[in-house]
Structures are given as C-alpha cells and as structure tokens.
C-alpha cells in the first residue's frame, strides 16, 4: 500500500451529470449544514451548465481552501448530510464536486482575481494552517497588506504536516497556498514568533494587528504506567515525520514505525485513524486502534473508519491500555489491554497516542498581556471578535479551543478576520480624528 490519494476525482462529464441532479432548492439545507455557509446551490448550478470559472468565483467568495475542504471536510455530517436528496437515498456529492471545481481551476489557471490595492493597513499572521490562511486570504481580498510568519520550512501547518498524503496530497495544499500568494500575501518561512522575533517586534515593524493561528502543537499524554518512555510516540509527531520522509527531508529509519511491526494507537478521532492508516502504509503487519468507548461514540468520521477497516486496521472497543512496558527507548515490549475489567498482556512494537493536543506557550510566555485559560488556550472576546486580552493581538482556530476541524477553524477565522478589519479601521479613524484635532 502506498501514499497515493485514495479517492478518485470526477471527469468533466461525471461532474456535470452529478451537478445536474441538484434541485437548486429555494431554502438550501446543504448550505445550512456548511459551517462557512458556502453558496452551494449557486456554484453547483454554474457547474451544471459547464461554467467552471463562475462556479470557482462563487466558491472563492466564502472559502480560501476549496480543494482542501472538498477532500477533508466532514461532508457526511455537514452539507451532504443535510441535502434533501438524502430522503431519496442519494445526496449530491458536494465535496467531490467542490474538489473538481478547485482542481480544474488550479490545473487550468482559469480564474484570475482582481487584487485590491493594499491601503487599509498591515496585518501579521502567525501560523499558516487553515485559520492563518483564511485570515490572510480574507484580509488580502479586502485591501490589507498581509505577512504570514511560519515556523516550518513550508507553509500549510496541519494541512501540510498533519493530514496524510493519501487523504490530502501536498501538491493540492501547495496549489491553494499559491493562490493565496497570488492575492499579494507574503510568506516568511522558518520564522518562529516567540523565539528570536516577538509580538512586540512585529508591532515595532509597523503592523496594525497580529493574528495568532498557531494551533495546538503540544500533544497530550494519558496518565498510564509506562507512558513517559520515549518509545511511546505521539500521533501528530509521527505524522509529521512521515510527511518529512515522504518529501525526502527525513531518513526512513527516523520514522521508526513500520516494516512488520505490531502497533497500538490510543484514541479514536481522525488523527488516530490517520496514524493507524499511515502505520499500515509504512509496512506495519498489525495495527490496532484502542478506544475506551463504543463505535458510536468515536469522534472519527464513519468514512475514515470504513476505509481504515478495509485497509486492515483493527478496532478494540471498550478497551484501554493500562500498562506499557518498553523494550528500550525506541520500542515497546508489551501492552496490557483491559476490557470489561479483564487484563491481557500482549506483545507490541509501538504505541502511538492520539488523545488530543494543547497550545504551545511560546508566544504567550514572551508577550505581556495575552491571557490563557487553565488549559493554555488563548482567551478572546466577542467585540471585536477574536481579540485577545492584548490590544491589537487576535487569535482564532484551535489555539482558542473553539474549532475542531479544518472547516470549523476556517469559520472561526473568517469571523476573526472581520474583527481585525473593524479594529484596524477604527484605530485608523481615531488616528485621523486625533491628528485633525491636533491641527485645529
């Protein structure tokens, strides 16, 4: 098994035929199900007539990342889950159509957006995951000059280093980033705010507002005996290593997991399933997802679960790992599985934890006035939306603990972009009034 994308794209005629099934409902329940209120019936209508450029422009009004959303959104719980045609047993495949339009546009270089002059102010965006890219794209379209500061060697955040290639090819993410660059957004890679450069430095450089879209980079650990051993891996770090390996930036041996190994993954969200399916692709002979609840309570998408089962991943429901015995600093010897109070000790080579993550404290610890809650999430307010306790510093996405998926991070980020817009406009207006008052 390899890392090639698992889902096929539509051909032109397939896409048009699928779009023609849409009823263009007057009160579209699909749109209600979309966290960013994508104008689904309108662009599907254009697509059904073969007007791909118009379809793309309508999508661009609400989304900066359609090729991503078309692939990784929870369509079954959102737009597609709400489509009226579910009553007849076959919803419109909205995600696949969105992906078709976005890919067609990237491949053909069809749409060229008019970029407004950057006259409304300067905004620094820290982090280039879904939240950062959304804020940057929205503000660039509204006439702000935007600079993104990204600590990695390549932009994209979780899209580039957290979601595996078979679900979201890196080239798709690069295409989306290129489109945001074409809006005039400047990317500064290998730039870690909180180390070397601080929020105060950015204000000194003349930025009017700063957005923190830094996500949650510190993985959580379950409190079980043996979990502190370095051989216990973290899913987000494992996925990042595989991504670097896939891009030729890391040796195979540094990925460690794979080639005939028995692997246990703790947790049952999408990251756990990504880690399990990736471990299979790295050559593991047996991969088990261990979850202390039932299948109906798992956070992962059903479609992801189905694909994992088809690829050979096993699921142990109502089961916990209650002890981990390590062989050395790189491998595990055994794990104790506990189901309904009964223990069994089984051989294992690797344990991968996928039980959530929390924000890093790099920025808040080097900046005065940004308050966090008891779990380290940045506290923000509703007016202007997304502003932290430090004036001019905004935050959104996972770092504030509101969103949970790519599209929810985008939804939150869109609201924060509006908050930044209002804040910068107000500050500039007050400046003008002050200056006029001074001259009077």
Please report, as ranges, the residues that interact with ligand SF4 according to CB under 6 A. 22-25, 28-30, 40-41, 83-85, 92, 94
CB of 46 to ligand SF4, least distance (A): 13
Q: Are strands 393-395 and 357-358 parallel, antiparallel or unpaired?
A: unpaired
Closer to ligand SF4 by CB, 30 or 370: give it.
Answer: 30
CB of 103 to ligand SF4, least distance (A): 19
- Rounded Cα distance between 135 and 132, Å, is 5
Tokens 């090639």 sit on residue: 4
CB of 90 to ligand SF4, least distance (A): 10
Sign of CA dihedral 59, 62, 67, 71: negative
- Rounded Cα distance between 309 and 291, Å, is 15
- Rounded Cα distance between 440 and 234, Å, is 63
Tokens 């005939």 sit on residue: 260
CB of 122 to ligand SF4, least distance (A): 39
CB of 37 to ligand SF4, least distance (A): 12
Cis peptide before 384 (omega within 30 of 0): yes
CB of 262 to ligand SF4, least distance (A): 44
Closer to ligand SF4 by CB, 29 or 322: give it.
Answer: 29
- Rounded Cα distance between 136 and 278, Å, is 31
Closer to ligand SF4 by CB, 31 or 350: give it.
Answer: 31
Output the CA angle 376-377-379, nearest 5 degrees: 120
Query: 104-113 burial, b if ≥16 CB within 10 A, otherwise e?
Result: bbbeeeebee
Closer to ligand SF4 by CB, 31 or 240: give it.
Answer: 31
Closer to ligand SF4 by CB, 44 or 273: give it.
Answer: 44
CB of 91 to ligand SF4, least distance (A): 6
* 122 SS3 class: strand
Closer to ligand SF4 by CB, 26 or 253: give it.
Answer: 26
Tokens of 327: 């062989």
Overall residue count recorded for the chain in this entry: 440
Closer to ligand SF4 by CB, 83 or 231: give it.
Answer: 83
């Amino acid at each position: 098994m390899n890392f090639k994308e698992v889902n096929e794209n539509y051909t032109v005629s397939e896409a048009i035929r699928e779009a023609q099934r849409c009823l263009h409902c007057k009160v579209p329940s699909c749109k209600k199900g979309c966290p960013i209120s994508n104008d689904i019936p309108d662009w599907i209508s254009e697509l059904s007539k073969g007007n791909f450029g118009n379809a793309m422009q309508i999508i661009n009004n609400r989304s900066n990342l359609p090729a991503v959303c078309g692939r990784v959104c929870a369509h079954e719980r959102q737009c597609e889950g709400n489509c009226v045609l579910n009553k007849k047993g076959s919803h419109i495949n909205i995600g696949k159509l969105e992906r078709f339009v976005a890919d067609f546009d990237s491949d053909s270089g069809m749409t060229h957006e008019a970029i407004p002059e950057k006259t409304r102010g300067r905004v620094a965006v820290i982090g280039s995951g879904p939240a950062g890219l959304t804020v940057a794209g929205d503000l660039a379209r509204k006439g702000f000059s935007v600079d993104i500061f990204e600590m990695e060697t390549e932009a994209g955040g979780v899209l580039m280093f957290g979601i595996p290639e078979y679900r979201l090819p890196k080239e798709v993410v690069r295409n989306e980033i290129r489109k945001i660059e074409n809006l005039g957004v400047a990317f500064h890679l290998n730039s870690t705010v909180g180390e070397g450069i601080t929020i105060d430095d950015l204000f000194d450089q003349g930025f009017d507002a700063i957005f923190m879209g830094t996500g949650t980079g510190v993985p959580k650990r379950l409190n079980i005996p043996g979990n502190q051993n370095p051989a216990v891996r973290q899913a987000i770090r494992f996925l990042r290593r595989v991504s670097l390996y896939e891009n030729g930036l890391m040796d195979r041996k540094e990925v460690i997991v794979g080639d005939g190994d028995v692997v246990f993954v703790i947790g049952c969200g999408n990251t756990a399933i990504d880690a399990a399916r990736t471990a299979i692709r790295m050559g593991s002979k047996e991969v088990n997802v261990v979850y202390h609840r039932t299948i109906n309570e798992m956070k992962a998408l059903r479609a992801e679960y189905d694909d994992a089962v088809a690829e050979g991943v096993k699921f142990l429901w109502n089961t916990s790992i209650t002890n981990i015995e390590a062989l050395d600093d790189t491998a595990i010897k055994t794990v104790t599985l506990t189901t309904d109070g009964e223990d069994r000790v089984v051989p294992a080579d690797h344990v991968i934890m996928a039980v959530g993550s929390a924000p890093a404290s790099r920025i808040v610890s080097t900046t005065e006035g940004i308050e966090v809650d008891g779990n380290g999430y940045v506290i923000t307010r509703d007016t202007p939306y997304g502003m932290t306790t430090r004036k001019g510093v905004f935050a959104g996405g996972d770092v504030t603990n509101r969103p949970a998926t790519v599209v929810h991070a985008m939804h939150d980020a869109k609201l924060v972009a509006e908050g930044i817009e209002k804040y910068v406009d107000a500050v500039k207006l007050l400046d003008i009034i002050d200056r006029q008052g001074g001259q009077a």
